[in-house]
Structure 1
Amino acid sequence: MDRFPIPEDPFDAPMRLEADITDLECVQGEVPAHLDGTYYRVVVDRHYPSFVDNDLALFNSDGMAMSFTFHKGRVDFKSRYVRTPRFVAEEKAGKSLFGAYHNALTDDPSVAGVRRGLANTNIFFHGGRLYASKEDSPPILLDPVTLETLGEYDFQGALTSETSTAHPKIDPRTGEMVFFGYAAKGEATPDIAYYEADPNGQIIHETWIRAPYSCMIHDFAVTQNYVVFPIVPLRSSIEWLEKGNPQFFWDPNEDVHLGVLPRKGTDKDLRWFRGSNRFASHIMGAYDDGRYLHLDSPVAETNYFPWFPDLSGAPYNPDRSKTRLTRWTIDLSGESETFTERRLMDAAGEFPRMDDRQETLDYNWGVMAINDHPEQHKTGGGFRWVGAVDLSSGRTKYYDPGENSTVGEPIFVPGNDTAGPGAGYVFVVVARRDHMHSELVILDAQHIDRPPVATLKLPMRLKSGLHGNWVGADEIAGRTA
């Protein structure tokens, strides 16, 4: 096979390693013995080198599922490729067959009609099932203990959309899973399919809407009474794809639109609110009080992604592309079709998370990966710190992993079954780039600026990952698939 291109940083080279490691070495502190469950995460790790020039390896690589299983102070690690239809086809051929990101027109003819999904974006648990997902296809079910791939899942035929989000939301009061698919009728279409599934994972509501234009809708917001679809001008079009491009481009002349739909509503209930051109992707949290709907997201003045070109030809602007946690507020009681904006954090960063037990509800605590630290007055390559914000006071505390280290997405893990909101731990995978290995660091969620509770060392590096979640042992024991 062709060689993998040599990355600028060898730490980011493909691993292609499926591993089992029992009893990870704790090199600092002590693992809380009462933690009983599994931290699942997924990373991007190409199985075969791409035949596309300047391929988007961060997005267009195979998904590698990973688990850190905690029990009585011991932590075991496992990693397995997610064997998507795409992975299986390439493994059989012994080479890469799929071309540019989100562009089937560049694929080898032998895989026409084969699903292109990579299941490389998120891994989550609901209704007794463990899902690996990417937003361009249906999810893949995995065995929650072995990480064996069980196959694509279309909710027993109830998923009529061609796609399904990698960012579903679980309502903590009802146990329902709220999710959607964008480009639901195929690449570059403006159609959105909206679903709710009951606590057992059976779809109980479906409705379809159309966005003002076709674009990436990576995440969305859910409150007790509404869902919000952020339509941000990272756009797509069939004409763009036909020129051999990856799917998305930035349109600096298009506005942001927020589509607000009542939970279990239909397209007739949809309202649109409009704001000036800006970028947003991930949602930290959202809630409503009956009149005002608040949505918190890292927001930038312009395109965040340097690899998606500006339609105007403008060069990438690293300062204007910095995302800072911002609250968008919609007054649902009036006739205004706009929304207001207020910054919540000075630090620039991404991968916002909250205490998931507060999803859809009013909340005061959140955590992010930070790449621009306002107090140290320096910017690191990649995400260099973790920041935890108290939204009631506006104060942010930081965890600094040290020089030549970067962090992945931080997640919250409750301290115990009765712990209050934000009381528990922050888990974050740290890349020790000088030493070519990774660590799982456990922080006190309320005091992340203090020394870690525990640091677990892996004997190898882990590839860059996107998202993951903690699942308690009792949930895993009740698995149905």
Structure 2
Amino acid sequence: MAHFPANPGFQGAMRPLRLQGDILDVEIEGEIPADLDGAFHRVHPDPQFTPYDPNDQFFNGDGMVSMFRVKNGKVDFKQRYAQTDKWKIENAAGRALFGAYRNHLTDDPSVAGKIRGTANTNVMVHAGRLYAMKEDSPCLLMDPNTLETQGYTQFDGRLAAQTFCAHPKIDPKTGNMCAFSYMSKGYLTLDMSYFEISPSGEVLFEIPFENKYLCMMHDFGVTDDYAVFNVMPCITNLERLEKGMPYFGFDHAMPVWLAVVPRKAGASAKDIRWFKAPANCFTGHVMNAFQDGTRIHFDLPIAAKNSFPFFPDVTGAPFDPIGGMSYLTRWTVDLASNGESFDRIEKLTDQADEFPRIDDRYATQAYRHGWMLVFDVTKPYEGPGGAFMAITNSLCHKDLATGAEQTWWAGPQCAIQEPCFVPRNATAPEGDGYVIALVDNHVTNYTELCFFDAQRVDEGPFARAKLPVRIRQGLHGNWSSAAQLGQA
């Protein structure tokens, strides 16, 4: 008999959905451009069974992959579980067997040594496969059209790293997937590696190195010549696991670093430049990175204090929701310098924001347009669970050339999930196209895939694909053209 925990990660607007199925020809309000042809894949944590650990958290749910196939002005919807080893073992048993988030010490003895990954953090099409990713495990491959699970891969044994990141980047010049691994040689190790995967899916090279300390490494940036890693002290260790504490905790006494790794075969740890931030801070998802002569520009939201209440401060200090608000910021370091100091820090917006996205055709390059979710605490909220549940209530377009911003508020009952840019066509100028995002109504319990003019988001969606259910809060997703799906 299913009884989910009474904590906020499983109740109200965060109640698990656990629904697999298909909807052909989703109801449309407005008009979707007839020449828009591709798919939006995204994923959310959605436990198939009630948690083995009654105190478990949202991030530990099984990966549920959604696909919105857009063609001829219509939208078809498909949703399937990513059938990880964990999912298969528990499905066969008819109950949960793996314990708390990333803590193997809390597992049922019958699953000792099994891969615990949930493939619940990001999905991206590359080399004809859908990569379903969770950063504590190998990459899971799925069919991008049917969502059939194909299994974990080590790329024909050519990848030494045991884990795969959740935020790979595609270099638009080479078509290579740029990715990394942390704890790459085993549980709770400092080992990391940077690697690139060709457009046909082959590992080209891998660069092993060690991190400054053991911590969450969720996102990174890539320039023409370098991979750039923000290292913040959202730390973990064996003692935390043995005590049954949350897997990560934030340490405000530790430094924050930026690591610049050459993107070339044969590079090693001795070639890495480390730059130390002037103050401790919380670093979020990366919008973009690019080179300007010897300087590296690195754009990401930054908060003065911990942004994750579910990974509390190591001191036990209470969560500070205002200090935890993040703001898009540009870090600049100069490779021509002899020291480890930052060259410049520039705050790019006064709006609290997260989930930044760009026109991915300009990844690694100087760019003009960005989109992000805004936390507008001045707006009312009428849904369950308090205002925190609708914290991502607005969508913003940022013009970095002029500084101009356009913002659309989703309304008092709604929250917005991560946006995604879709070019109008393959040759369209930067930022010319659409932004798509799921908007969840926490009162009616419906979700809509909303379509915006990318540079006029303040006008609101010009079309909505209206689902008859509310999809659970997701993490990340990406758009793929019909050609990438093998359907051009």
Whether TM exceeds 0.5 here: the answer is: yes
Whether 1:441 and 2:445 are equivalent positions in the alignment is no
Matching residue of 1:355:
359
Q: Rate the CA distance shift 1:478–1:192 in 2: closer, same or farther, 3 A.
A: farther
Matching residue of 1:469:
478
The one-letter amino acid of 2:23's match is I
Kindly state the Cα deviation for residue 5 of structure 1 after the two structures are TM-superposed. 2.8
Gaps of 5+ in 2: 382-386
Kindly state the Cα deviation for residue 188 of structure 1 after the two structures are TM-superposed. 2.2
Whether 1:386 and 2:395 are equivalent positions in the alignment is yes
The one-letter amino acid of 1:144's match is P
Q: Rate the CA distance shift 1:162–1:478 in 2: closer, same or farther, 3 A.
A: farther
CA–CA distance in structure 2, aligned partners of residues 22 and 209 of structure 1 = 48
Alignment of 1:288-327 (within 5 A): 288-327=291-330
Matching residue of 1:127:
127
Matching residue of 2:232:
232
The one-letter amino acid of 2:56's match is D
Whether 1:364 and 2:373 are equivalent positions in the alignment is no
The one-letter amino acid of 1:53's match is P
Q: Rate the CA distance shift 1:409–1:150 in 2: closer, same or farther, 3 A.
A: same
Q: TM-score, normalised by structure 1?
A: 0.96
Counterpart of 1:24 (choices 23, 26, 40) is 26
Matching residue of 2:275:
273
Kindly state the Cα deviation for residue 336 of structure 1 after the two structures are TM-superposed. 2.6
The one-letter amino acid of 1:277's match is N
RMSD over aligned CA atoms reads 1.6
Kindly state the Cα deviation for residue 246 of structure 1 after the two structures are TM-superposed. 3.1
Cα offsets for 1:175-229 (capped at 9, x unmatched): 1111110111223211101101122111111111111100000001110011111
CA–CA distance in structure 2, aligned partners of residues 398 and 465 of structure 1 = 21
Matching residue of 2:384:
none
| Greater alpha carbon shift after TM alignment, 31-40 vs 192-201 | 192-201
Q: Is the 8 A contact 1:217 1:281 kept in 2?
A: no
Matching residue of 1:110:
110
Matching residue of 1:77:
77
Counterpart of 1:15 (choices 11, 14, 17) is 17
CA–CA distance in structure 2, aligned partners of residues 327 and 188 of structure 1 = 31
Q: Is the 8 A contact 2:235 2:248 kept in 1?
A: yes
Q: Is the 8 A contact 2:441 2:447 kept in 1?
A: yes
Kindly state the Cα deviation for residue 34 of structure 1 after the two structures are TM-superposed. 0.5
Gaps of 5+ in 1: none
Q: Is the 8 A contact 1:7 1:13 kept in 2?
A: no
Percent identity (aligned): 45
| Count of aligned positions | 476
Counterpart of 2:463 (choices 438, 442, 454) is 454
Q: Rate the CA distance shift 1:396–1:72 in 2: closer, same or farther, 3 A.
A: same
- SS at the partner of 2:457? coil
CA–CA distance in structure 1, aligned partners of residues 397 and 173 of structure 2 = 25
- SS at the partner of 1:239? helix
Whether 1:253 and 2:222 are equivalent positions in the alignment is no
Counterpart of 1:333 (choices 329, 333, 336) is 336
CA–CA distance in structure 1, aligned partners of residues 47 and 469 of structure 2 = 17
Matching residue of 1:408:
417
CA–CA distance in structure 2, aligned partners of residues 441 and 2 of structure 1 = 33
CA–CA distance in structure 2, aligned partners of residues 171 and 146 of structure 1 = 26
CA–CA distance in structure 1, aligned partners of residues 341 and 101 of structure 2 = 34
Matching residue of 1:242:
242
Kindly state the Cα deviation for residue 7 of structure 1 after the two structures are TM-superposed. 5.9
Cα offsets for 1:406-462 (capped at 9, x unmatched): 000011000112111011000000001111110000000000011322111001110
